[in-house]
Amino acid sequence: MSARRTPYGGTLRAVLAIVAACVVAPAAALDYDAAMNASQAAVGRSLDDYAFTDGDGRRVRLADFRGKPLVVSFIYTGCGQVCPTTTKFVDRAVRQADRELGEGRFRVASIGFNLPFDNPAAMRNFAREQGIDRRDWRFLSPDPGSVDSLTRDFGFTYAANAGGFDHVAQLTLVDANGRIARQFYGETFDPSLLTSSLRAVAAGERPPLASVTDVLDRVRILCSVYDPSTGKYRLDYALFIEIFAGLTVLGAIAHYLLREWRRQRRTLARRPA
């Protein structure tokens, strides 16, 4: 005995296939919730010592930066858009902090995580291309084999994608004792947050807690895309279009099923007893 077929079963299967195509998006390479959790979990962590080579070929250890606050960013030199933009913003924020706190009060380090491509020569060229000339700003290549533990210590997560790497835009403030004091998020943020945090850390105090701005930056990271025409992040309208399309199709299915149910009810009611 064959299974009973509804008069609209074929159409329903076709509509469901359309729904699947509209609302099921490919899984992102990077789990942003996990990345943000790992980043925040690193706050308060005492960092291990790591070895690097700077753009001039000199050997540097993370412990060499002890004694003053350290501002750390992770970059990859093959990035043509986001990393240069964020580096230039950090340069502006650092210059503002220098003006308010005085030069020489803290250090800055940019660390390349894409080995072997982020070698000392590539890091030196990247710094030159971004116009970075601060004496206390070092562009560093980690030792091979240490990248995973280094980035994990800092709470920095990244994943390869078709265009390079996907990662949270993160800036890390390390205190004079080598302990992570605060994370900053987003391509840009209020530079006064960095200055006030540096002032607090230099005085041996805890930096200000994350503000609503940080939360909004997180939302922007999750719901925005980089627009190379403006050099900024813009709202990812495609995300909302996909959501709207999915809800529209689901609404159409509900309307279709309700209409068919009512039609069948009328048909059964007209049949003779």
Q: What is the pLDDT of residues 99-142, one digit of tens each?
A: 999 989 999 999 999 999 999 999 999 999 999 989 899 999 99
What domain range is 115 assigned to?
32-208
Each residue of 53-104: pLDDT tens digit?
Answer: 999 999 999 999 999 999 999 999 998 788 999 999 999 999 999 999 998 9
Task: Please give the Cα distance from 214 to 197 (Å, whole number).
Answer: 14
Residues sharing a CB contact under 8 Å with residue 264, sequence separation 6 or more, in sequence order? 7
Asked, for residue 19, whether it belongs to a domain, the answer is: no
Lowest mean pLDDT among 152-161, 221-230, 250-259: 221-230
Asked, for residue 117, whether it belongs to a domain, the answer is: yes
The HSE-up count of residue 175 (CA atoms within 13 Å, CB side) is: 19
> What percentage of the chain reaches a pLDDT higher than 70?
74
Average the pLDDT over 170-182 and give the result.
96
Would the pLDDT of 19 be above 50?
no
First-to-last C-alpha distance (Å) of the chain: 26
Asked, for residue 105, whether it belongs to a domain, the answer is: yes
Asked, for residue 46, whether it belongs to a domain, the answer is: yes
Would the pLDDT of 27 be above 50?
no
Closest CA to 136 of 111, 95, 108: 108
Average the pLDDT over 260-272 and give the result.
75
Query: Does an H or E element contain 215, and which?
Result: helix 212-222
**What pLDDT score does 262 carry?**
83
Asked, for residue 185, whether it belongs to a domain, the answer is: yes
Mean pLDDT of the chain: 81
Would the pLDDT of 5 be above 60?
no
Asked, for residue 56, whether it belongs to a domain, the answer is: yes
**What pLDDT score does 218 carry?**
52
Each residue of 235-261: pLDDT tens digit?
Answer: 455 555 656 667 787 888 888 888 888
Would the pLDDT of 214 be above 50?
yes
Would the pLDDT of 231 be above 70?
no
Residues in the chain: 273
CATH number of the domain residue 130 falls in: 3.40.30.10
For the stretch 52-87, what's the b/e string if a residue is b when 16 or more beta carbons lie within 10 angstroms of its beta carbon? bbbbeeeebebeebeebbbbbbbbbbebeebbbbbb
| Residues linked to residue 107 through DSSP beta bridges, in sequence order | 70
pTM score, two decimals? 0.69
Asked, for residue 16, whether it belongs to a domain, the answer is: no
Structure tokens at 228: 């190379």
In contact, 35 and 72? CB cutoff 8 Å: no
Average the pLDDT over 157-180 and give the result.
90
Say which residue, 173 or 12, is predicted with more confidence: 173
Closest CA to 130 of 172, 82, 166: 82
Q: How many domains does the chain have?
A: 1
Residues sharing a CB contact under 8 Å with residue 232, sequence separation 6 or more, in sequence order? 85, 187, 226
Asked, for residue 146, whether it belongs to a domain, the answer is: yes
